[in-house]
Structure 1
Amino acid sequence: MLTMILRILKISGKNKPRILLGIFFNILKTFSMALMIFAILLILNNLHTLNSKVILHALWITLGSISGRFLFQWLMDITMSAKGFDMFRDYRLNIGDRLKKAPMGYFSEQRLGTIQTVLTSTVVELEQYSMLAITDITGGIFMALIITILFLFYSPLFSLLTLAGLGIGMWVLHIIQRRGVEHTPLVQAAQENLTTQSLEYIRGIAVMRAFSVSENKEEAVYEAFERKMQADLYQEHAVAGLLKWYAAVYKITGALLMLSSSALYLAGSITLPYCLMFIICAFLVYAEMEQMGDGAFLAKKITTELNRLENVTNMPVMDTSGKVLNLKRFDIELKDVSFGYDSRTIIDHVSLKVPQGTTCAIVGPSGSGKTTLCNLIARFWDVKEGEVLIGGYQIRDYTADSLLKYISMVFQNVYLFHDTIENNIRFGNPDATKKQLMEAAKRARCHDFIMGLPDGYQTVVGESGSTLSGGEKQRISIARAILKDAPIIILDEATSSVDPENEHELLGAIKELTKGKTLISIAHRLTTVRDADQILVIDSGSVAQHGTHEQLIKEEGIYSRFWKQRRSASGWKL
Structure 2
Amino acid sequence: MNILRNLTADNPRSLVKPVFYTTVANLAGVIPFVLLVEAVRLFFTPFVHPAIPLDTARLWWVCGGLAVSLVLLFACETLASRSQFRDAYSAAADGRTRLAEHLRKLSLGYLNKRDPGDLANMMMGDFAMLEHGISHVVPQMIGAAVMPVLALIGLFFLDWRLALSLFAAMPVAILLVLLTSGIQRKLGSQHIQAKIEASNRLQEYLNGIRVIKAYNLTGERFVRLDRSFRELMRQSIRLEGLLGPIVLSAIACFRVGLTLMVTAGVHLLLGGSLDVITFAAFLIIGTRIFDPLTTALAGYAQFRYLEQAGERIVQLLREPIMQGERQPPADHDIELKQVTFGYLDQPVLRDVSVSMPAGSFTALVGLSGSGKSTILRLIARFYDPDKGMVTMGGEDIRAMDPEALLRKVSMVFQDVYLFQDTIEGNIRFGRSDATHEEIEEAARLACCHDFILKLPQGYDTMVGEGGSTLSGGEKQRISIARAMLKNAPIILLDEATASLDPENEAEIQKAIDRLVRGRTVIVVAHRLKTVQHADQIVVLDQGRIVEQGRHDELLSSNGLYARLWRRQHDAGMLSAGLG
- Work out which of the residue numbers 210, 233, 236 in structure 2 matches 1:232: 236
Match of 1:362 in 2: 364
Say whether residues 1:322 and 2:325 are aligned partners: yes
Q: What is the rounded CA distance, in whole Å, between the counterparts of 2:344 and 2:122 in structure 1?
A: 24
Say whether residues 1:388 and 2:387 are aligned partners: no
- SS of 2:161 mapped into structure 1: helix
- SS of 1:509 mapped into structure 2: helix
Q: 1:4·1:302 contact (CA, 8 Å) conserved in 2?
A: no
Say whether residues 1:5 and 2:20 are aligned partners: no
1:224-277 CA-to-partner distances (Å, cap 9, x unmatched) read 221212221211112223333333333333133223212211221111111211
Match of 1:546 in 2: 548
Q: What is the rounded CA distance, in whole Å, between the counterparts of 1:3 and 1:559 in structure 2?
A: 59
Match of 2:495 in 1: 493
Q: 1:323·1:399 contact (CA, 8 Å) conserved in 2?
A: yes
Q: What is the rounded CA distance, in whole Å, between the counterparts of 1:313 and 1:273 in structure 2?
A: 57
1:283-311 CA-to-partner distances (Å, cap 9, x unmatched) read 12212110112331222112211222123
Post-superposition offset of 1:518: 0.7
Post-superposition offset of 1:573: 11
Q: What is the rounded CA distance, in whole Å, between the counterparts of 1:220 and 1:135 in structure 2?
A: 40
Q: 1:31·1:146 contact (CA, 8 Å) conserved in 2?
A: no
Say whether residues 1:26 and 2:31 are aligned partners: no
Residues 1:489 and 1:3: Cα distance change in structure 2 (over 3 Å): closer
Question: Greater CA deviation, 402-411 or 501-510?
Answer: 501-510
* Runs (5+) with no aligned partner, structure 2: 47-52
Question: Greater CA deviation, 243-252 or 136-145?
Answer: 243-252
Say whether residues 1:93 and 2:97 are aligned partners: yes
1:86-142 CA-to-partner distances (Å, cap 9, x unmatched) read 112111111111111111112227521211110011111111223422222222212
Post-superposition offset of 1:176: 5.9
Question: Greater CA deviation, 282-291 or 441-450?
Answer: 441-450
Match of 1:45 in 2: 41
- Work out which of the residue numbers 432, 436, 446 in structure 2 matches 1:430: 432
Residues 1:560 and 1:66: Cα distance change in structure 2 (over 3 Å): same
Match of 2:529 in 1: 527
Pairing of 1:205-354 with structure 2 (within 5 A) = 205-215=209-219, 218-318=222-322, 320-325=323-328, 327-354=329-356
Q: 2:19·2:140 contact (CA, 8 Å) conserved in 1?
A: no
Q: What is the rounded CA distance, in whole Å, between the counterparts of 2:514 and 2:185 in structure 1?
A: 62
Amino acid across the alignment from 2:10: I
- SS of 2:493 mapped into structure 1: strand
Pairing of 1:75-94 with structure 2 (within 5 A) = 75-94=79-98
Match of 2:49 in 1: none
Amino acid across the alignment from 1:23: V
Q: 1:410·1:494 contact (CA, 8 Å) conserved in 2?
A: yes
Match of 1:195 in 2: 199
- SS of 1:532 mapped into structure 2: coil
Q: 2:325·2:401 contact (CA, 8 Å) conserved in 1?
A: yes
Match of 1:480 in 2: 482
Residues 1:120 and 1:225: Cα distance change in structure 2 (over 3 Å): same
Amino acid across the alignment from 2:553: Q
Q: What is the rounded CA distance, in whole Å, between the counterparts of 2:441 and 2:9 in structure 1?
A: 50
Match of 1:124 in 2: 128
Post-superposition offset of 1:7: 4.6
RMSD of aligned residue pairs (Cα, Å)? 2.3
Q: 1:488·1:517 contact (CA, 8 Å) conserved in 2?
A: yes
Question: Greater CA deviation, 391-400 or 543-552?
Answer: 391-400
1:389-441 CA-to-partner distances (Å, cap 9, x unmatched) read 12333211112211111111000111111122221122112333333322322
Alignment TM-score, normalising by the size of structure 1: 0.93
Question: Greater CA deviation, 51-60 or 181-190?
Answer: 51-60
Task: Determine what percentage of the aligned residue pairs are the same residue.
Answer: 31
Q: What is the rounded CA distance, in whole Å, between the counterparts of 1:286 and 1:489 in structure 2?
A: 69
Q: What is the rounded CA distance, in whole Å, between the counterparts of 1:553 and 1:463 in structure 2?
A: 44
Q: 2:492·2:521 contact (CA, 8 Å) conserved in 1?
A: yes
Q: What is the rounded CA distance, in whole Å, between the counterparts of 2:340 and 2:573 in structure 1?
A: 38
1:154-196 CA-to-partner distances (Å, cap 9, x unmatched) read 3222222123221222234335644431211112111111111
Amino acid across the alignment from 2:522: I
Q: 1:38·1:61 contact (CA, 8 Å) conserved in 2?
A: no
Post-superposition offset of 1:367: 0.7
* Runs (5+) with no aligned partner, structure 1: none
1:535-563 CA-to-partner distances (Å, cap 9, x unmatched) read 11111111111111111111232111111
Match of 1:441 in 2: 443
Residues 1:123 and 1:571: Cα distance change in structure 2 (over 3 Å): closer
Alignment TM-score, normalising by the size of structure 2: 0.92
Q: 2:332·2:520 contact (CA, 8 Å) conserved in 1?
A: yes
Amino acid across the alignment from 1:480: R
Q: What is the rounded CA distance, in whole Å, between the counterparts of 2:563 and 2:40 in structure 1?
A: 104
Post-superposition offset of 1:371: 0.5
Q: What is the rounded CA distance, in whole Å, between the counterparts of 1:59 and 1:494 in structure 2?
A: 82
Q: 2:371·2:540 contact (CA, 8 Å) conserved in 1?
A: yes
